[in-house]
Chain A
Amino acid sequence: MHRLRCTACGQTGPAAFFCGACEAIQAPALQRAWLQLLDLPERPAIDQKLLEKRYYELSRRLHPDRVQATNPQALPTSVRAASILNEAYRTLRDPELRGRWWLEHQGGKLGSTNSSVPTDIAAFVFETHETLLDAQSSGGAKPSESIEAILVQVQEQRHGHLEQLASLLEGWPPDAAEAARLISLRDLLVALSYLATLQRDVLHARDGLEKTSPEPRQRNAAGLQG
């Protein structure tokens, strides 16, 4: 149970978006406590319907547009609270982001070290890029059809890995996990991230869109020097 001191009445209680004693809006910057803040069970597999329900309920209570009408003094807090809620929801609803978040908070050092890409995935990514280049440069009769075929392959690969991820998270033991489980989680996430980039490249090739920079899945935490 994560605990927090209320910024309005000073009482200490379970971390939540609303103080248990005085009901003032709180903006608890506690990434580890996201499941508790959303009143969800402490496990990495999630009931999507329930998550959505909680998110909408909380949004209706603490979104600045609602607070503006009911309690204007709490507006600055509600902007921060809503930004926390939004980030929690965005992370938890996506199995990959949720897995990464879980790894970071359960795996300690393991979560922040980068592992190398699994060899089977590296080979697959390499081969697919070659085929993609061939399809684009060949100028053959139906380049779009061969790109479509490549896309199906990539999507199947990703789909398979996502299923593995889902069952790994679903079967997660209630107590702190053993290292082996964390390592397989990490390797799965790395593979998925490579496959996501690959899928985007194929989609862009298919739609003739210019390549944009990849989504910043892993942020540089080190920061800048002034």
Chain B
Amino acid sequence: MATVVGIDLGTTNSLIGWMEGERPRIVADSITQKKMLASAVSFLDDKTPVVGDAARRRAELHPQASILSVKRLMGIGLEHLDEIDRRTTRVVDAPGPLRITLNAGTHELRLTPPEVSALILRELKRRAEIEIGGTVERAVITVPAYFDDSQRQATRDAGRLAGLEVLRLVNEPTAAALAYGLDQRQEACIAVFDLGGGTFDISILRMREGLSEVLATGGDTRLGGDDFDRELVSLLSERATPSPAEEADPRTFALLLAAAERAKRQLSESSETHLEIPLPEGTRVVSVSRAEFEVRTRHLIERTIDRCRRTLLDSGRTATEIDEVILVGGASRMPAVRTNVAAFFGRQPLCDIDPDLVVALGATVQAGILSGSNRDMLLLDVVPLSLGIETMGGVFSRLIDRNTTIPAAARQEYTTAVDNQTHVEIHVLQGEREIAKDCRSLAHFRIGIAPQPAGLPRVEVTFLIDANGILSVAARDQRTDTEQSIEVKPSYGLTDEAIETMLEESFDLAEEDFALRQLIEARVEAESVLHTLERSLLGHSRLLIDDENARIVASATTLREACGRDDHNLIRDLLDALNETSSPFAQRIMEASLRRALESRSIDELEGR
């Protein structure tokens, strides 16, 4: 059987792995040797897409042409966008599937979130094919456990658009447990606390003899490391920009966001950080302490612990019955997360496996199960949200409870109210509330019925949730024993026809062309360096000495000219040269801003602020 890959399609970073014999292995990029691919996409002026770190860098200069954290937008509608999504992403204000507007040079692009995710998947696929040395056509992709049916469908659509047959969607926390379960033989009850870039999941599992059984899962698809970054953005802007972050222009906001990400990482290591923020009006140095950060984000941590409490209740276990706690997701590196999780479960969490890699490793283990190479292991997962239908009066009637082991089925019988009625309309929803409009709408199903007197047809409708957590519906007339036709109108997802069209129109990634890719990356970096330098020359001209200005400008001009040609080695060399020429100047700018920061602080202290 051909290789099945395991993919962690993350909000911030994505990874791909494969089974090398009996052990999962994560693919490293053939050039940089890096395993993580930034989940960022940026379009060059000629509409060529760039994926990964280069795209993330480019987003700072070209926010209009770039998209970060597209996972937050998968399978949702316009009405689910929050304030910040609306600020960071421009969307087409029209009903139907969500479309993102981007500007690449003079072109305006309108893309659905699955199309953007597909570009990330194609880049991962390309990397894997190089390392494995063969084509990759089938994959296991992870999703947050708390993803609803539309979000799962959207992920599967992205796979299809990337030319991958998605054999299975696996819940991220479950995948993490699988990675740990590979060497777990005795029976244990495990809690997986997964705080990713944009989502939070908590799952309780029972593991024994290779069998992983999910007892309960819960979480929040709108809570993650990004929210901590945003709290930091507002903290930074209070100290660095004249107006609050909500009013900042997109460029300033992007720069603040990049600084916040750096600050968050540094505050996980040390108790205080000094940040240099290259704002359009000049570079600012800002200090933030871990204590300040923790006060600002306490409400976010409390939300995660509250979810843990509910999920534990659902699992029928108590905190003392949990044998191990596993931390997953980059955001779980924050010390405050660790402390609070340890306090809640009454034990120190495990993090033997790199939290950045563990989900991809688990996805790869599941890929091994599906391709038959992991014969002893099996995963029994659950549906994260209750599924039901809208009944008369707009009431939500549950058919399948949350945390029911999947595959799961429910049956419901329907009849007609008037003579010769030719169809019955069924509105399927997912959620835990009692009123249909408070739950997430999945789809409308229209069941065709042969014309008969009212009340005579007896149509049994079966709702089947497969092992991916995805719903299908079948209808059968009990009297005539015939299968009835069903028309599906997904509430937010794409129709099959839409996907076909997208496949035909899809962008060509610069596949397998190393030279071109390196060229694009070198150009992006040169552009970013030139841009920063230009601002520094303008803003800090008094810090220039002797003929420094002339030398830097000459070096920059040569680099800019080289960017017009196709030699990435030349661009890299000239970049190094420029960095060398300008580094004493950069050093002086840094020292000056540090001095200013310290001075202003001592004035604050003198004035008793």
Contact = CB atoms under 8 A, between A and B. Distances in A.
A207 B404 contact: no
Contacts of A89: 405
A69 B372 contact: yes
B400 to A, nearest CB: 10
B279 interface: no
Contact of B407 (A79, A215, A222, A223): A79
Most buried by B among A84, A87, A223: A223
Interface stretch (A16-24, A33-41, A60-68, A100-108): A60-68
Interface in A196-226: 203, 207, 209, 212-213, 215-216, 219-226
Contact of A80 (B168, B409, B413, B423): B409
Given A64-B466, A69-B369, A216 B407 contact: no
A65 B401 contact: no
Contacts of B371: 69
Contacts of A68: 167-168, 370
Interface string B164-180: 00011000000000000
B271 interface: no
A56 B380 CA distance: 10
A64 B416 contact: no
Given A83-B408, A86-B407, A223-B414, A70 B372 contact: yes
Interface residues of A, number: 34
Contacts of A69: 1, 369-372
Contact of A203 (B313, B389, B412, B413): B313
B574 to A, nearest CB: 53
A90 B405 CA distance: 8
Contacts of A60: 211, 378
Interface residues of B, number: 48
B467 A63 contact: yes
Contacts of B417: 225-226
B413 A86 contact: no
Contacts of B1: 69
B391 interface: yes
Nearest to B409: A83
List 9 tightest A-B contacts by C-beta distance, closest first.
A226-B424, A69-B372, A83-B409, A83-B407, A223-B413, A225-B417, A86-B405, A82-B407, A213-B434
Interface of B: 1, 167-168, 211, 306, 309-310, 313, 366, 369-372, 378-380, 389, 391-392, 397-399, 401, 404-409, 412-417, 421, 423-425, 432-434, 447, 449, 464-467
5 contacts: A68-B167, A68-B168, A79-B464, A83-B409, A209-B306
Given A82-B467, A86-B406, 11 more contacts: A65-B369, A79-B467, A83-B409, A86-B404, A219-B399, A223-B414, A223-B415, A224-B392, A226-B414, A226-B421, A226-B423
